[in-house]
Amino acid sequence: MNKTKQRLLAFTVLLMVSVSVILFPFGAGANVYAAELSETEFEKTNVMYDLKSSEGFNILDYPFYDSETPEIKVINVVEYCYSFKTNMRSNFGLYLYVYNPNGQDIVTDGFSNKVQMAISYDSEGNPNDYEKFALQFCSVSTESNYYRLFYKFKVIDHKSNKDGKTLLERVNSLERRYDISGIELLTRGNNTATEYPVNGTYKFTGYAKGYGPDAEAESTLTSDVQFLETIELDVHHTFYRTKSSSKGAGYQNQLDTVYFSVPERFFETYGTLQRIKAEWYEYKTKDIVVTSNSDFYERAYEYLGIQTGEFDQYGMTQYNEAIGYSLGQNAGDAGGGFNAAQWGWNLGSGYLHRPAPALYYLFFVNNISEYDPYADIVENGGVTSNALYEYIRNYKKTFDSGRLEIKDGSISADLFADDIDDYRKMDTEFGKIQKGYSYYDFDADVDLQHLASWQESNPGFWDNWVNWGLFEALFGNIPKDESITISPIYLLQSGDLNGTNPEICERLLINNADVSALRSFASEAERNNERVVLFRFATSDYYSAAVDIMQLNQGFMWSDKHITGQAYRAYESVFLDFDIIQLTFFKDGVYHVIPVVSSPIDIVDAITPPVTMPDDTPWWKIVLAVLALILLCLLLWPVLPYIFKGLIWLICLPFRLISKLFKATANSAEKRRREKENEKQVEEGKTET
């Protein structure tokens, strides 16, 4: 657009605008533009032209300044060319004008910029449900004196998850209402967006010239803005893992929790916190391999994201000799000339297994110990949350499966499985949980989280043997947990943070490393007369199991050489851009929804070693088992003869019973034969007489 056309366009807007400026408590205003311009042209008008054309706008009211925390404010909300006539709605748009006093560099070409708006109302006209709407960047001030001071965005309308309607279809033609609680904007250098409060209910009445029921009438547009109550939350994350799961060896229950504080006045005014609505992007990682073998790590690292060999007719990848190493879980001779493994990488066609054609995660640690929830994650052979998160963000080797639909497409989909835990998926009136974008409105009394232990499945000796091994089944070396059912919403009580760290972890189901942070957070909340809320939003499967590092055909008599205890594989659920939308309170039979202003966070839990790891020298277990058997025999020696007699008697009992049955049958037959002989003799005697 040339300068002459820009000037003409700005002059047209100035002449044809009906403006009602109402100062908001923090300085925001509501302006209404109603020019007879095409949608494309208005989207391209510069933000400075629009603002300078707005009645009452004074650039001196919007200086640059530094602040302790970043600030961004919405100063104008513009409803453009609304008409109740369907054939005249193509020009409709809702625009936001942003004042950026800190001069932050807002990312304008991504997917993270959003605005939160009400999408339904109760019978009293109060908003009772909110959703995020994407923002389309229109323009930014570029003059040297006002560089990045103002931004202009357009709200991208969409069909609501709740009723399938768009904003345009939902508004009342006589008074269009837009309840805007907050705006999320991503600034360059940050991984997640920051949400800033808007706190406005914007109401528009009347029509622009040519868009109302009377096509000849002049513009009658007016606007009004009112305060919208919101809750600003500072959200933190923790997690908890059980030692077992009803699914068997290798599986653990993972409970993800976020915590925040809510001012006491909300509970006093609106009652019990009954529901929490949140949205996030959920994915399941592919296998994450952790090793303490440096030579294997260096050789395997070169093949990250690379298929080790061609597929054979059975779907197995051919062995790659250049690597020199393989990974095998429970790998060994399966009989009949076959080798088998529960899982394997670069095992070659000679193994029947669930193959991993390529590795996408590989971490080196100094040593690997069995899972200890209270040990230092790194010292225990685990991978910290930050290390895994940075790995995911920085992985750029392959994008064979495309990119995730978030983070501006910077994260490779190769790192994640095809689906999430099947039992987590749901699609109800309260929300939808699936791979990718998910949202749900959790109820404190209905949406209970259940952590099922291995003992809950009532395992027998055979189940323990199959899952944990013969020696573990014999000697009871099997993880023991109690099943837990909990509410997704828990308010921290007096005394909950008393005691040792392990006691607090088990009481609140949080991670040991987060106890100190929670204590500090709770102390600050108490000083501010706020209550701490634990929001337990997800129970998922965590898997961690030992694998052998193998050198094929390198061992004694051409057998495979297994290096045990130096590697394990794991996978878990991650929750990206987790964002709380609203809190619902309940009092005297009435629900009251308060929108939340909180910045989204990425939730990637630490990787921890398996609950049980194999020993490099398992011979001692065999010796121990033999000694235990000998000891048992010695203890029972006085009664062994009687035991053997009893066993022999039990073994012989069926044969004795069968023998008696045959004898009884034979005696019965002999008796009947003799009776018949006697009867015959009697008959013969009568005949002779």
- pLDDT score of 33 more than 50: no
pLDDT at 2: 45
558: DSSP letter: G
Whether 576 and 406 have beta carbons less than 8 Å apart is answered as yes
Tokens 């302006």 sit on residue:
31
Cα–Cα distance between 325 and 551 in angstroms, integer?
5
How many other CB atoms sit within 10 Å of the CB of residue 230? 22
Residue 70 tokens read as 């970043």
From start to end of 143-217, where are the E strands? Answer: 150-155, 176-185, 194-205
Q: Determine which of 43-57, 265-279, 354-368, 611-625 has the lowest per-residue pLDDT on average.
A: 611-625
pLDDT at 210: 82
pLDDT at 91: 81
For residue 324, which of 569, 556, 561 has the smallest C-alpha distance?
A: 561
Could you read off the pLDDT of 111-137 as tens digits, one per residue?
899 999 999 999 999 999 999 999 999
- pLDDT score of 572 more than 80: yes
Could you read off the pLDDT of 345-400 as tens digits, one per residue?
998 887 888 888 999 999 999 999 999 999 999 999 999 999 999 999 999 999 99
Per-domain residue ranges of the chain: 3-228, 236-306+358-621
pLDDT at 628: 67
- pLDDT score of 281 more than 70: yes
Mean per-residue pLDDT, 28-54 = 67
* Residue 591 backbone dihedrals phi, psi, to 5 degrees: -95, 140
Tokens 């939902």 sit on residue:
170
Pairing assessment for the beta strands 288-291 and 361-364 based on DSSP bridges: parallel
Mean per-residue pLDDT, 104-110 = 92
